[in-house]
Structure 1
Amino acid sequence: MVSGKQASSAGTDAQRRREQEAAALAEFQTVEAELNTRWPESTMEPTLDRIAALVDLLGDPQRAYPVVHVAGTNGKTSTARMIDALLAEVGLRTGRYTSPHLRDATERITLDGAPISHAGYVEVYREIEPYIELLDGRREPDAPRLSKFEVLTAMAFAAFADAPVEVAIVETGLGGSWDATNVADGAVTVITPIGIDHVEYLGPALAGIAKEKAGIIKPGSIAVMATQDAEAAAVLLERCAGLGATVARQGMEFGVLRRDKAVGGQLLKLQGLGGAYDEVFLPVHGAHQAGNAAVALAAAEALLGAGGDRQLDIDAVRAGFASVTAPGRLERVRTAPAVLVDAAHNPHGARALAAAVSDEFGFRKLVGVLAVLRDKDALAMLQMLEPVLDEVVVTRNSSPRALDVDELAGLAVQAFGADRVVVEPRLDDAVEEAVRLAEETDGESEALGGGGVLITGSVVTAGDARLLFGKDTV
């Protein structure tokens, strides 16, 4: 029996925790406001000088642990999360740095698979703030301050060193060679599928984009390569040969041997560097995610020295993959009608999304909700999604970079025809309208070909939609 005194003490403790959490959130929001006065993450300059100077002042924290460095156009975050899960399952303390976030910047820096707390985020920023101010003060009059991404990258490296972690899985932000994360030297470098994106910085040619991504491959490292177009593969292999990097290629040294649909995901047989791993359940959908799993397995094996006849423990591999979560990646946030959220944000990603939806879901009617950033090839994305969507509701997300709704509607009409396009400027109204349209299937279940809603177009769109459905954690 709990005494009145004990109940009072528990209530006081709970109130104190709430006050501490509120104070930490307020301070976090202050730090974010400060960071948002810097160069945005959508801006890139071809130099590592600023970030190199900052980590030098911090004592090069990125050299305190081995790094698995991940670049590519699509699949980076999902692959990084899978690598993290596998390495954690074999007993390593992990740090993971990814971008962008769905809702909260703390998602970008994780320790042991969990986002850093608001208080921890603030603490690491305040620790390195004097060094940031020192470098900002030394710059030439017309030179930019450290960018937001450079500061966040240094924060992640410092947080990992302070923890300390035994391995860091680090995802590039934009590109490779000139990405702030490239001050780290990956013992294992991972190149996920390369496509056309960020044309304003990386150019329109696949070979040029591949050359930029290949910049993370370092001398003597192990380069794990997802399946690539021949043009991109040639560039990557040339880089590896020039640096003496060991190459492991999907479809050659490793890959997906079998993929079967399963309730809540898929059942895989994977060929790793050390042999085959059977009966692996992956709780996410799509052939592209199976490919990501094969890449993640090879990367984990490479880091841990598996290969030849030496395999990772099969039970650890199964447990690691079974624990994988992929928020905003064909994530179901509602049933009856089913509402799926996906962060596809370029034509390459939209194509993979369309294939996954067509292959794994049997909707009689599927209504899309699309909000895209203005620097993306929205028309190509719409064209990729058109075969799997019966109608599309165009809208905008919360980003200041969101494409104008009327402009997006014009592009949607080109791809779908006017009779299949609905315009709703607010995302919540767009989702409500899409649900209404999907329910016109007379309430049939998904298994019988009922209606569904697919919300996509941007990581920001996915984050906004998850919040609408109460999914505010990752």
Structure 2
Amino acid sequence: MEFLVARFKNPEKKYNTVHIAGSKGKGSVSAMLTQIFSAAGYTAGLYTSPHILDFTERVSSAAGIFSDEMYGKASDLLVPLVESIIPENLPGGNEPTWFELVTLFAFLTFREAVVDWAVIETGMGGRLDATNVITPAASIITPIEMEHMEFLGDTLGKIAGEKAGIIKHHTPVFVSPQQEEALKVLTDAAKYHSSPFFYMQDIISSISSETSQEGNFIFIEYKQIPEGPVFSRPLSTRLRFLNEIQAQNAAIAAYTAKFLLPDITESMIETGLSRAWLPGRFELIPGDVPIVLDGAHTVKSISTTLTTFKKLFPGNNHLLFACAADKNVDAIAELFHSFSEITITKPGDFKETDMEKISRPFLELYGSRKVTLTINEDYQKAIPDAILSAYQKKIPLLVIGSFYLVSEVKKILVHRTGDQENLYR
């Protein structure tokens, strides 16, 4: 990546950046921060992943996707200079990966669009992530969980060490509540880099969230510390993100923005938070039979989503679940005891999965109970069957376990309704 950005005259240095890593919530925090910058009068780009329906979701702005002309301009710059690289000149002799090229494309798009700020979300980990060539104005690390262990390590401390790789010398780092093992790694990394360290659990004085189908009303009050920003009053606004954990994400996004832009008003922050949204994060598709789409795929994140889902939709519900092969299915399966119907399938063709491994704990836990359990490896049949069953029985449907599953469900819903705009927005 250093070779590539140098070849393109370092487009990532033409605007201010904020770098965000973590296991959960980094997409939401990225979207919130982008909208806060916009509400304060700045142009802001957003680089996030994965996309659900359209590739442009990955490289966008606070105002939405860029024009076709802008993407075309970045592509016209990217392709010839990449194709003309002499293979022997590539560091290590390896060709750029797809994600590296997409990251470079994002940097170029933001430069051509002349943004003031770009909020950059890591793809995986941090230390060796393609995005880690930037020199950010601030780093943010959201909650860290056991994930991608084949790449990031088999302990929480090792995974935290990879995430901590985005911390730069003398650059403030803002950290969401963490488990003790992860927190120690992050604290030590910040000390090593002489980086101001802001741990939200010690800074938030009061935080609350009240979620209904109409919105998520949040209240945040911060302690005033000598090194931190000064808020003239608590924050209170309504989020489009319905999951109650989003109050914590809003708190770290707002605090970071106030630190970077001391003159920003509380009203600007609240406006930005109220505008933020991303598909597949407790995305409610309303109707006679509500459908909730959530890409949560770890034990803790799924548990958090279920708390909000059961609060909004008590009673009988239908679960549509799929996940990648590396997930802790034994622990995840135990979370779904309140569902009257469960459908298990694959998360599409892109992500490797193991249907036997996924199915086993569900069969053991729910096979002999009064639960309608369906296991169908053919996701193109399992998805519409689950939707139809929920509609026929008039019970809400929760789709969870993988962003790739969410993507496949949205494709089917768009195909049936012909209304991508409403599903996407």
Q: Would you call these one fold, judging by a TM-score over 0.5?
A: yes
Q: 2:399 aligns with which of 455, 466, 472?
A: 455
Secondary structure of 1:182's counterpart equals coil
What is the TM-score normalised by the length of structure 1? 0.80
Give 1:114's aligned residue.
64
The one-letter code of the counterpart of 2:230 is G
Secondary structure of 1:287's counterpart equals coil
Pairing 1:219-298 to 2, within 5 Å after superposition: 219-254=169-204, 256-272=206-222, 273-275=229-231, 276-298=233-255
- Take 2:91 and 2:276, find their aligned partners in 1: how far apart are those partners? 47
Give 1:465's aligned residue.
409
Give 1:171's aligned residue.
121
Compared CA separation, residues 118 and 457, structure 1 to 2 (3 A): farther
Pairing 1:73-472 to 2, within 5 Å after superposition: 73-135=23-85, 137-139=87-89, 143-254=93-204, 256-272=206-222, 273-275=229-231, 276-305=233-262, 312-358=264-310, 360-383=311-334, 385-417=335-367, 419=369, 420=371, 421-427=373-379, 429-435=381-387, 437-438=389-390, 443=394, 451-470=395-414, 471=420
The one-letter code of the counterpart of 2:278 is A
Does the CA-based 8 Å contact 1:405-1:425 persist in structure 2? yes
Which of structures 1 and 2 has the bigger CA Rg? 1
Tell me the percent identity.
Answer: 26
Compared CA separation, residues 233 and 279, structure 1 to 2 (3 A): same
> What is the alpha-carbon root mean square deviation over aligned residues?
2.3
Unaligned runs of 5+ in 2: 223-228, 415-419
Deviation at 1:265, TM superposition (A): 1.9
Does the CA-based 8 Å contact 1:79-1:293 persist in structure 2? yes
CA shift digits 1:53-103 (9 cap, x unpaired): 010111111111111100000111111001111111010100110111112
CA shift digits 1:211-245 (9 cap, x unpaired): 11011010111111000001101110111111111
Deviation at 1:325, TM superposition (A): 1.6
Deviation at 1:188, TM superposition (A): 0.8
Deviation at 1:129, TM superposition (A): 2.0
Does the CA-based 8 Å contact 1:84-1:94 persist in structure 2? yes
Does the CA-based 8 Å contact 2:322-2:345 persist in structure 1? yes
Compared CA separation, residues 70 and 467, structure 1 to 2 (3 A): same
CA shift digits 1:20-64 (9 cap, x unpaired): xxxxxxxxxxxxxxxxxxxxxxxxxxxxxxx10010111111111
- Take 1:112 and 1:321, find their aligned partners in 2: how far apart are those partners? 11
The one-letter code of the counterpart of 1:296 is A
The one-letter code of the counterpart of 1:393 is T
Deviation at 1:280, TM superposition (A): 1.2
Compared CA separation, residues 321 and 349, structure 1 to 2 (3 A): same
Does the CA-based 8 Å contact 2:70-2:112 persist in structure 1? no
Confirm whether residue 56 of structure 1 aligns to residue 11 of structure 2: no
- Take 1:88 and 1:317, find their aligned partners in 2: how far apart are those partners? 10
Deviation at 1:374, TM superposition (A): 2.3
- Take 2:205 and 2:40, find their aligned partners in 1: how far apart are those partners? 21
Compared CA separation, residues 387 and 297, structure 1 to 2 (3 A): farther
CA shift digits 1:123-163 (9 cap, x unpaired): 31231223323445225798321111111111111111111
Compared CA separation, residues 274 and 254, structure 1 to 2 (3 A): farther
Which moves more between the two structures, 266-275 or 189-198? 266-275
Deviation at 1:118, TM superposition (A): 4.8
Deviation at 1:318, TM superposition (A): 2.2
The one-letter code of the counterpart of 2:256 is A
- Take 2:383 and 2:262, find their aligned partners in 1: how far apart are those partners? 48
The one-letter code of the counterpart of 1:466 is K
- Take 1:135 and 1:256, find their aligned partners in 2: how far apart are those partners? 54
Does the CA-based 8 Å contact 2:34-2:44 persist in structure 1? yes
Compared CA separation, residues 107 and 261, structure 1 to 2 (3 A): closer
The one-letter code of the counterpart of 1:460 is Y
- Take 1:187 and 1:255, find their aligned partners in 2: how far apart are those partners? 25
The one-letter code of the counterpart of 1:261 is T
